[in-house]
Structure 1
């Protein structure tokens, strides 16, 4: 009892409970240029309270202890206002009317300072055109998941939130996605290319928002995947003090903690900082698959005057876990039963591990020579290191003495690997605003350079296959040479690495000393891409025309640093043409034509028997749609219709005399319609919703029987919604509830007879906010549905998590 009383005495000051009489503060705020009221945030420093301005431009903060405070008014596009206020017990203090002014940082040509909006709606984008532009004015579909939606859904990785974006679904369990039916692993960080580690998705702790640029983005970024590109935008410093601490517990022994600190470092607010730290320790629902993650991300913004702004972002991340190769099921000879093994089933041993380390440094500079002429520069170094040991499937089932597959035994192999990848990015461009008669121009001219390197020092050790009597190993079993193999008591070939039983799995520590291994140094590699581009956004009356042209150069040094080194070069001229028509004050219509570029595989280009050289992969997209802001700017909606095709796909020439011979006649095509809605319906009702109908097929192929077939992991339909309601008055004030769900229709895999079934998953959440504390509890997959978010074949399927919960406490200073 004594300990309980002591604990209660310690907690009462922390949660800010008080029996003393309180006061209130109210006021009126007017905004410039029709700035929407809900974008204004009113904070009461010292009391730990904040409210959003209501539609009439008034606010009221209640239950404030008597004392002296500072009222801070902030928004996305206005200067911060700070006003001293004294609160008396039992009195409602009315502050003088506040007139906000436009911020000098309203039009950042490089995103340096953080955004203060707190909605599911994102108004502006930098990556879609490389300059700040209202999303409604961009003639291309750009979908965004904001940090507020990530927090409300307690998302920690991109796979947790892509359900909120039309046309995007998980391809596998790794860092790859299907965008408009095309597989994509091209990702950007603040608009610059990163090295994709692929196996594990980076945490979202330091991410302000995820932007998805739909369709080819090569006109600005060079070689990119046709379906779209995901851009991770890091959190930037704010000019107001804010400190948020969070701790999470959840299913599968999940523990998480995060810290988000930001504010000015000097009185002039020319030097701002932000520090994000995150830690996760979880066992997950998969057997033998615990993971530990850590990330620290400091950021500095320096604006010594109105003309110059500099930003530095650093990110250091560590991952310690096991590489998940997916759920295997019984082989095809036993049918196509997805439930032949539980979704928790994995392949591996207790002493497997994957240790990843990432580091990135991003420096950006913006200098305004005049009100109409600016220069922008950004550099990103991104490094990924891997230390891997795994027992994994050899992508096949064990062989018996007759050469037949045993559908419940997996062939196994081990891989030990040390690897390092380094990416260096530089982009520099000038922006000039000028007018010729009735035409307003925003001209951008730039150059960027990207270098991807695999340095000396990487190596891989592999064990696989079946033992031979001469002490060596054969990768496969050949029954015609049965007498050359070591056979077990049943006459079956003895594997180099023991088979893994799907009926009686063994997750013990494996003694790898007896494996016969081969070790190969990873060949150093380097490829470079660069581009010169020009873009002009021309406005005249209700019309805006976006003209872009890029000359892309790509070179890959095959056999790098070897006597037989070859420099394989490819290049492309990439146009972009967009048109926006301002139908009404709220609605824009748009149309787009854009091409994409992706170089062909270097090994294929260098193979003298392949019949090359070949033209690079070229994609093209036609898109039309409408974008609108409704309910006084609180809610945004996008409707997009598109036709997308990728040409120059390499296929086999089916030559009997030369099996390596290829020809360039393949084509893949996608057509679809997408709808995205994000924002607020009222001051306390938030909505994010999306729907997609998309048909992505193989339209041309050497094998004519493939034509018309849907591409792998490309569903015909998908969609979802998330609705959150906050109670802002009455006895239940501070409580919020949310519910939502998403669905995906059936999908093909790489196996002709294995199909992933359709699924629908429901989620829910409840929140309670009081004083400086918020409690959030999320229940995911409420109905405990069994489903698969992606997959390759019988031996590599990726199930979604069963019913699970996350509970988080946030403490804000």
Structure 2
């Protein structure tokens, strides 16, 4: 489907009534502008994902918001580009560069779906999703700690909520064009305005071609994101938010280590087969939201989200280990044909009332969703008799490719019904209380078309959360919270029995500071998280899993955002994470969790001002640091045999950004990533799947407001 077909499909779905947003058009700040900006704020005072009227300074939980200005100053075109600048975040397996995946506070999500991700308050990570583009993102909210009391199945370390751009009730238009190294080309459109006295629109679109420092790798991307807001009558509004993405790129599992050492295989070397072509990922996401004010203190919300996604294509992927000569790598050839459909419905009632000295903001909601996931994989697994190997030190491409045979053919169906309550309480001038509870009834069935086996499970869960804040002064807040989480484990064990769901519990203690001017703020938090029933290998049945693992993460993270002087703004983070295996059948107890460094930090610093005859200009840069971290899960057998641990080395990466406002409507930008061209490794799944960090890249952009 081309971009024109996308436009027609999206328009029809909008007219038919497809999807939603959590904020009204009247709530848009008057200073909001379209296109890339240079004079906004890093600091925000609210987070839509918290679903509370309490300001961020008063919320008894750590929340990190990456504003649109932060995204622009980083020159971030993907969600992945901002992750190093949010405290407590560590990169995880990116599925060959075809999805986003991180761990928050050391705990990653489902290995088949990735991190816990929301889009305007709806789950957005079920199924396979292309890397998120930032063209239609207004801000990114990192909700740290357990969010299951509001959103159900999730990780106790945290959840990300992406807030998309909404229509403005004034005309504004921006067009951007970029070019750079590795044949990088991109154009983007941001257009908004009223279509009458009661209807407003917004349209974000982007077309991109991106080469790579990696051999044989290039990416094509098209994004179309329409949005509509309709003021139906007094106190009643209808919002539509759409997003249609086509992402095309080869699956790239990266480089490998020889023994426990990296570097012998250069970072640009591709170990797949160019003849495989691209993996095609297509996503359509439509949200519709109806808001109605019942009276002065109460309102109702009804919202629907529909998602459809596909992933298709061939890939050649390295096996887990080199052969004895330490240079020959056997490979598999795979064909994936994945399809997912996801429909969710939310209904909420929100109101305020007073009981004695307590002022309540009550949220009561119900949610239901159905998710269908069809996975079909063909796989060729050659051996010594039928080789499909590559010399990693002197690769030769173009050898005959084996024909993959049926390997996986499953149909998974999930249904969930939930009820949740949240009470945000103000007790006098200094005390704030946040209490929540969600009850989920989950049903899952898995049909294996090859074997005929059917696996079913129906776990139930109650997820409570309680937090308290004390406003020590107009600037300082102390807070504490605790909560529980759960996440169903998909699949089946060797006896075709379903797994017990993962269950987590977390406690957090911290302090917040906000300037009296409300243009800067900071958060410091310490936490302790435990999770049980993590899937682990079944020692009695190789190739199968059992739910018996236990992990723990504890640490500290600190964030600062805002202005530090009239012309200076800063975005800083620092985190220490001690995440380890506590019990497991295969992994070594006490071993650290995959890809999680003990220490990471970042700093983004920008100067914005006037410079003589040049007019308004900005100059700044960022630096991010990650300590060494495990590059593969360490087994008890490896420890017993005395084998060296495989780790990814520490790295520090710098970036530079500059902009010149040629006129009030024309802006020229320069972005240099990996300024000193450091050779580093961003993440790993095993020794033969190591993702090298991007080499230095330079891009120049021209942004105009029409």
Specify the TM-score bucket, using the shorter chain as the normaliser: 0.7 to 0.9
1:567 lines up with 2:462 in the alignment: no
Name 2:646's counterpart in structure 1: 754
Count of residues paired in the alignment:
654
Please say if residues 349 and 506 of structure 1, whose CA atoms lie closer than 8 Å, have aligned partners that are also in contact. Answer: no
Q: Which residue of 2 is the match for residue 803 of structure 1?
A: 696
Deviations 1:270-302 (A, max 9, x none): 321110001110111111111100101010011
Q: Which position in structure 2 is the counterpart of 1:163?
A: 84
1:189-222 superposed Cα distances (whole Å, 9 cap, x missing partner):
1111124565741211111111111122111111
C-alpha displacement of 1:674:
0.9
Q: Which residue of 2 aligns with 1:178?
A: 103
Q: What is the alpha-carbon distance in structure 1 between the residues aligned to residue 408 and residue 322 of structure 2?
A: 29
Q: SS of the counterpart of 2:182?
A: coil
Residues 262 and 132 (structure 1 numbering): CA distance in 2 closer, same or farther, change over 3 Å?
Answer: farther
TM-score of the superposed pair, with normalisation by structure 1 = 0.77
Question: Match of 2:380?
Answer: 463
Shift of residue 569, structure 1, vs aligned partner: 0.7
Listed as ranges, the matches of 1:305-454 within 5 Å are: 305-330=233-258, 332=259, 336-352=260-276, 353-398=278-323, 405-454=324-373
Supply the RMSD in Å over aligned alpha carbons.
Answer: 2.4
User: Which residue in 2 is equivalent to 1:767?
Assistant: 659
Q: 3-state DSSP class of the match of 2:299?
A: strand
Q: Which whole-Å deviations, capped at 9, do the CAs of 1:236-275 have from their partners, x for residues lacking one?
A: 1112221111111112111111110011222x3x321110
In the alignment, which residue of structure 2 is the partner of 1:291? 219
> How many Å separate the matches in 2 of 1:171 and 1:427?
31
Supply the distance in 1 between the matched residues of 2:514 and 2:263 (Cα, whole angstroms). 46
CA-CA distance at 1:454 after TM superposition: 2.3
**Among 511, 514, 518, the residue aligned to 1:629:** 514
Structural mapping, 1:61-76, within 5 Å: none
Alignment of 1:140-219 (within 5 A): 140-173=61-94, 174-184=99-109, 185-195=115-125, 198=128, 200-219=130-149
2:468 counterpart of 1:579: yes
2:3 corresponds to: none
Q: 1:292 to 1:114 in 2, by over 3 A?
A: farther
Is the aligned partner of 1:526 residue 2:526?
no
Match of 1:776 among 669, 674, 697: 669
Partner secondary structure for residue 410 of structure 2: coil
Structure 2 runs not aligned, ≥5 long: 1-20, 33-39, 110-114, 635-644
Task: Name the SS for the 2:169 alignment partner.
Answer: coil
Structure 2 distance, partners of 1:242, 1:446, is 36
Partner of 1:558: 446
Listed one character per residue, the Cα deviations across residues 537-576 of structure 1 (whole Å, up to 9, x for unaligned) are 1111111111111111111113289986453110111110
Partner of 1:719: 601
Contact between 2:506 and 2:530, CA under 8 Å: does it hold in 1?
A: yes
Is 1:710 the counterpart of 2:618? The answer is no
The answer (yes or no) to whether the contact 2:632–2:647 under 8 Å persists in 1 is no
Residue 812 of structure 1 is matched in structure 2 by: 705
**For residue 504 of structure 2, what is the aligned residue in structure 1?**
619
Q: Deviations over 1:348-397 (max 9, x none)?
A: 22222211111011001111101111111211111111121112223333
CA distance in 2, matches of 1:216, 1:577: 11
Q: Deviations 1:131-183 (Å, cap 9, x if unpaired)?
A: 45422222111111122211121111111101110000211334111210111
Q: Could you tell me how far apart the structure 1 residues matched to 2:371 and 2:127 are?
A: 13
Gaps spanning 5+ residues in structure 1: where? 1-107, 399-404, 467-492
In structure 2, the partner of 1:28 is none
Instruction: Give the Cα separation in 1 of the matches to 2:510 and 2:180.
Output: 41
Mapped partners of 1:114, 1:675: distance in 2: 29
Higher relative contact order (CA closer than 8 Å, sequence separation 6+): 2
> Where do 1:724-743 residues align within 5 Å?
724-728=606-610, 730-743=612-625
What residue is the counterpart of 1:226 in the other structure? Answer: 156
CA 592–518 in structure 1, closer or farther in 2 if over 3 Å, else same: same
Residue 662 of structure 1 deviates from its aligned partner by 8.0
Matching residue of 2:7: none
C-alpha contact 1:558 1:568 (8 A) present in aligned 2:
no
**1:672-711 correspondence runs (5 A):** 672-702=555-585, 706-711=588-593
